[in-house]
Structure 1
Amino acid sequence: MNHEGEELENRAARLADLYFRKHDYHQMAEYLADDVTWIGISKDRICLTKDEVLKVMEMEMKVTDGIYEILQEWHYGIEVSERVGVTLAILKVRTPKKELYMTEIDTRISIVWKRQDGDWKAVHIHQSTPDDRLAGLAAFNAEVARNTYNKINDVIKKEARTDSMTRINNMEGFVEQAQYIFKCYPDQKFAVIKFGIRDFRFINRTYGFSTGDRLLKTIARNLEEACGRREVCGRIEKDIFSILLVYEGENSMRRRMEEIRRELTKDGWIKEIELEVWLNAGIYIPTDTRSETVKGMLDKALMAMQSIQKYVKEDRYAYYSEWMLQQHYNNSQILEWASSAIEKKEFKLYIQPQFDMKTENIVGGEALCRWELSNGLVIMPNEFVSLFEDYNLIYRFDLYMLELVCRYMNKWMKEGKQLKPVSVNQSRADIEQDSFFEDFCSIVDRYEIPHEYLTFELTESAFIEEGNRIMKLARELHRKGFKLAIDDFGTGYASLNMLSVVSGDILKIDKSLLESDNRRTRVIFEKVIEMAHNMDMKVVCEGVETQEQRKFLCRLNCDIGQGFLAGKAMKVEDYGKRYIKGRL
């Protein structure tokens, strides 16, 4: 099985072969960095440049023209980082027979490597021997050795604090430099900022990982150029960056953030491929840089960043506030409770009725959830669903709620009642699982629910980010007789072009369009409904609360309403008693 240092070990063995067995110093030079240093066994084997190494090699060729034999060899390699590695070797070498002073040498060779133009190059070689017979020939120049190892140590330290892809600071490098700045300027006020690229996964999937990597490198380079005196930046992980800025008040910070935003994506290639890049940033203003840790500051900036609403098509930033720390604690508590919530049956099924816009008759419902803890606390979906997505809990939760829906529908069928269609919300994270659709169908079929009574509901942002998967899913849903609904349409994320690509059956318009008094918005509303009907889609409008709204929607030919006009979400048992009746 290959291991991390095997490539280095192979290069070290090849270098030993070229040096001892073949005396091929010309080919050996290809393995050496231009700034290589070499400390050999004898007094004339201290070289500080590649040229000096090659001169010594030429001299050896004149003195020793025999071929050495390697009797035993052992190599061990390790990659310190993506750009720095170390190999250690122990060899037993037999000298040419005509050499009179000895026939075998035990030698040890340590090599520091750096990756240069895609290949590992030796930047420092130290050869030594424990053999007493060479004591008179051996040399150790303490000053040269100290300077050489200091140089190598500096390289290794720098690599350990440098992000291998973008070549700016990594987390440790950023922390170290920020601490140094705080120490030098203890009375200066600073802003610690953490920002991420919104929907970076979508960029990777749409434009390719090479474009995603290029974007990260571009942002890193421009971010570093944007830093002034007393400022520093770094890439923390994935698409998350940090920056320490001098803070001169909110107005100045707003202008500075706008300038940095423009600088980050100013490169022409980004505009050429029409790549839209939006950022979420959290800002923390430390009050005491002497006592607070930089990682603690970054944590608070992250809390601020995470407070920003996802999937909004513009740059957003937020300042850290103490309530965010409480929210962070609450989230940790929710995640702790989540591990046993299904076993305790704490997730309760609710259904909000949907009504025909003209007759006001109830024609179906949307399945929703309330998390009711044993202590009486009720947690709403907006408090835990995104957390479940972030921590890979959503898949099990969604399938559990689907099973609750199917269980009640099966019960109503056995009681001889007429079913009404139910929409079930599914997360974008679910469809990334290869077995999801099979698991979905398995649950539905186990309870013998006719497929036409279940509508598979996804938010419009999922249709954009998971476009190819959604198109495949839509085909499979329709082949099996399910309906597909696009939820929250009009939240500013999706393009109208999406509707021509994905064959949805139902378009759910977000209540924000209904609440707007803007004339242009109303015109858009009307045209969206008209367009959906032209594509054989039914239109559901959310947030319908008054008769005036219902009448307005009737004039626009909206098909179905959902909102407080018909009723709030209610327990599934109450929904069944009120709206699921016996067959006529």
Structure 2
Amino acid sequence: MEKGESVCGEYTYEGNRMHFYMVPLDVNGWYLFCANKVWGSSASLGDALTIFGVLMTLMLILMNVLLYSGRRVFSQNIKTLIRLAYEDPITGAKNTAHFDESFQQILETKQPFSTVALNVHNFKGINDLFGRMRGDRVLCYMENVLNHNLKEGEFFCRDTADLFYLLLLDTDEESIKKRLAVIIEQIRASSLEYGEFSYDLSLYAGVAIGEEREKALLAMQSIEHTHHTDIAFYNHDMHNAVRKKNSIESQMYPALQNKEFKLFLQPKFGMKNEGLVGAEALVRWQNPDGSYRYPNEFIPLFEENGFCLKLDLYMVERACEQIKAWKDAGLTPVPISVNQSKMLFSDLNYPDNLMQILNRYQVSPSLITLEILEGVATDNLELLNHQIEALHALGFRISMDDFGNGYSSLNMLYQLNIDELKLDRGFLRQVSKEDEERRYIILEQIVSFARKLGIATVAEGIETQEDEALIQALKCNFGQGYFYDKPMSAKEFSQRYMKKDEK
């Protein structure tokens, strides 16, 4: 104890053998003293130790079993998480997250490569016709074919729906075309052979040599709506087109708010020497610097992204604003025809929305002709007729524009209660003498049918005196085109054609 050491031993107390143990506390020279009776004999102690050893061994075994089971479950969970993170659950192919990681490794090694985006035309139609399960089976065919057509070091993934991305270690266009042609044909063949349904798959692909997969997707989207081209290669024109599209979409709402969309008017004349009988409203986008963007630069995009819904009603408002300006100036207004998107006719509130605009400018509906494209009639004929009846009841006139440009049917002339038929300008393009005779016969019959049904006819695209003579011979009611005058600003139109009301 003087040395501060631990002490153990035994002693006898009241006839009992005792064990003791003393431990220094390092505080004031104090010791902790522990004592207890000796437990049984030496044999009993040996038995106790044996039992204790067995129990400890069992506990160690149990702990090892639990640790092993836990580690196994944890490992399985990790594998499941990795599979969910990197694999497509339908086909078993890798997903885009895995593709992008592998792509970064390719970039680091600086190997030459090409990315490919592969898709199926109208894959939604497969799901609609044959069910989701059959559609998934087609995706599995695609995965299987791709898996057997890639070289060592190449890889692919499934993105969404039927879109697959491939990374090929080829950079030669002809070689890539041949390889993709084989892949496309094998996918098509396997779907017919094992798909249990007769559906001839049509696939298309975009390729970007040495570029990321987004540019391959851009190349693929460039042929999305065509079936005569299977493979497209990315080029800088596509990139410029995307930049232009993004630029237009970023500026369209501010342009509408700032009234950069200007009303242009093209005069419409009577073919019986009635002179000016109306005008067609055309939109021009005037940039802040005074330059103009023409409709073919932005109208197709607006029809695609739905912005035309706002623009078409905006143009109705600009037409009403101009009619009111003529009236306020003591001028006799002429009716203005305004193009309207087919999407507007799907809105049951469309007639009421129009009347709110007209009432704001105190304009009669008889001064506004609503022009619709023939394609409107192919969607929902019953709804379209309902809307036309509602618009007629309010006093609007309805004109069908570009008749003959698409899939026109003479059935439209009696199925739709329209007031005016505008003949597509393509009818006036002369190719040959034989073509002219056939064209005349077709035009003559269309005009005759329309006249007997009480529908006025307008010939667009009159550019020569011969065009005018043809239209007069056919007894069309109205004509417009560069032969008479070009589209012009509303201000120029007013100065050139509008006269003071003699009353």
- Which TM bucket (shorter chain)? 0.5 to 0.7
1:248 and 2:162 matched: no
Whole-angstrom distance in 2 between the partners of 1:299 and 1:243: 12
Does residue 546 of structure 1 match 2:464?
A: yes
* 1:294 counterpart (179, 197, 213): 213
1:527 is aligned to 2:453: no
Deviates more, 1:549-558 or 1:402-411: 549-558
- Pairing partner for 1:284 from 207, 227, 240: 207
Pairwise mapping of residues 40-55 of structure 1 onto structure 2 (< 5 A)? none
Structure 1 residues 495 and 263, CA gap change in structure 2 (3 angstroms) = farther
Q: Residue type matched to 2:418 in 1?
A: G
Contact persistence 1:223–1:233 (CA under 8 A) = no
CA 259–460 in structure 1, closer or farther in 2 if over 3 Å, else same: farther
1:429 aligns to 2:343 (yes or no): yes
Q: Distance in 1 between matches of 2:470 and 2:448?
A: 14
Tell me what 1:114 maps to. none
Render the CA deviation track for 1:27-46: whole Å, top value 9, x for unaligned: xxxxxxxxxxxxxxxxxxxx
- Indicate whether 1:487 and 2:414 are aligned: no
Where does residue 457 of structure 1 map in the other structure?
A: 371
Deviations 1:102-152 (A, max 9, x none): xxxxxxxxxxxxxxxxxxxxxxxxxxxxxx9x9769724357436633553
**Aligned AA for 2:392?**
H
Summarize the alignment of residues 112-123 of structure 1 with structure 2, pairs less than 5 Å apart.
none
Indicate if the aligned counterparts of 1:389 and 1:429 stay in contact, CA closer than 8 A. no
C-alpha displacement at 1:548, in angstroms? Answer: 0.8
Q: In structure 2, what is the Cα distance between the partners aligned to 1:388 and 1:216?
A: 32
SS in 1 for 2:427: helix
By how many angstroms is 1:522 displaced?
5.0
Once the two structures are TM-superposed, the CA of residue 346 in structure 1 deviates from its matched residue by 1.6
More helix by share: 2
Q: Please tell me the root mean square deviation across aligned C-alpha atoms, in Å.
A: 4.6
Contact between 2:219 and 2:233, CA under 8 Å: does it hold in 1? no
Return the letter of the residue paired with 1:405: A
User: Structure 2: which amino acid aligns with 1:148?
Assistant: Q
Matches within 5 A, 1:77-92: none
Structure 1 pair 295–524 and aligned structure 2 pair: CA distance change class (3 A): same
Identity of aligned residues (%): 26
Cα distance change of structure 1 residues 212 and 136 upon mapping to structure 2, 3 Å threshold: closer
TM-aligned CA deviation for residue 175 of structure 1: 6.1
Larger CA Rg, structure 1 vs 2 = 2
Distance in 2, Cα, partners of 1:358 & 1:182: 72
- Aligned partner of residue 257 in structure 2, secondary structure: coil
* 1:499 positional shift: 4.2
Q: Distance in 2 between matches of 1:269 and 1:365?
A: 55
Structure 1 counterpart of 2:315, from 383, 401, 404: 401
Quick one: distance in 2 between partners of 1:477 and 1:359? 30
Secondary structure of the 1:339 match is: helix
Equivalence for 1:229 = 149
Do the aligned partners of 1:350 and 1:571 also contact (CA within 8 Å) in 2? yes
Q: Taking structure 1 as reference, are residues 147 and 412 closer, same or farther at Cα in structure 2, changes over 3 Å only? A: same
C-alpha spacing 1:278/1:300, structure 2 compared with 1 (3 Å): closer
TM-score (norm: length of structure 2): 0.68
Q: Displacement of 1:377 after TM fit?
A: 2.4
**Are the structure 2 counterparts of residues 185 and 342 from structure 1 closer, same or farther at C-alpha, using a change threshold of 3 Å?**
closer
Q: Gaps spanning 5+ residues in structure 2: where?
A: 1-58
Please tell me whether the aligned partners of residues 85 and 97 of structure 2 are also in contact (alpha carbons under 8 angstroms).
no
Residues 491 and 566 (structure 1), Cα distance of their counterparts in 2 relative to 1, 3 Å cut: same
Counterpart contact for 1:464–1:498, Cα < 8 Å: no
- Deviation, structure 1 residue 470: 2.2
Partner of 2:77: 149
Cα drift, residue 408 of structure 1: 1.0
Residue 423 of structure 1 aligns to a residue in which SS? Answer: strand
Q: 1:401 to 1:527 in 2, by over 3 A?
A: same
1:505 is the counterpart of 2:433: no
Helix, strand or coil at the partner of 1:374: coil
Equivalent AA in structure 2 for residue 440 of structure 1:
L
Which residue, out of 278, 285, 294, partners 1:371?
285
Partner of 2:474: 556
1:401 Cα shift? 1.7
Shift of 1:407: 0.9
Tell me what 1:333 maps to.
247
Paired residue type of 1:407: E
SS of the aligned residue for 2:363 comes to coil
Q: Secondary structure at the match of 2:475?
A: coil
Cα distance in 2 for residues equivalent to 1:375 and 1:357: 40
Determine the C-alpha separation between the residues in 1 that align with 2:351 and 2:92.
42
Q: Which amino acid aligns with 1:334?
A: I
* Offset from partner CA, 1:348-374 (integer Å, 9 cap, x none): 110111222343722211101111112
Query: Is the alpha carbon distance of 1:316 and 1:197 closer, same or farther for their aligned partners in structure 2, counting shifts above 3 Å?
Result: farther
Aligned partner letter, 2:428: L
Equivalent residue, structure 1, for 2:488: 570
Unaligned runs of 5+ in 1: 1-131
Cα offsets for 1:460-506 (capped at 9, x unmatched): 22332354442332221122121222222223345544444333222
Distance 1:367 1:378 in 2: 16
**In 2, distance between residues paired with 1:483 and 1:492?**
23
1:404-449 Cα shifts (integer Å, max 9, x gaps): 1101111222334333221111223333445433212210122222
Maintained 8 Å contact 2:374/2:406: no
- Alpha-carbon distance between aligned partners in 2 of 1:316 and 1:438, rounded to the nearest angstrom: 45
Moved more, 543-552 or 180-189: 180-189
Alpha-carbon offset, residue 450 of structure 1: 1.7
Distance 2:233 2:243 in 1: 18
Residue 325 of structure 1 aligns to a residue whose secondary structure is helix
Match of 2:32 in 1: none
Deviation at residue 249 of structure 1 after TM alignment: 6.4
Change in 2 beyond 3 A, CA 1:558/1:285: farther
TM-score of the two chains, using structure 1 as the length reference: 0.60
Q: Which amino acid aligns with 2:207?
A: Y
Partner of 1:474: 388
Distance 2:188 2:445 in 1: 34
For residue 578 of structure 1, what is the amino acid of its counterpart?
A: R
Shift of residue 169 of structure 1?
7.7
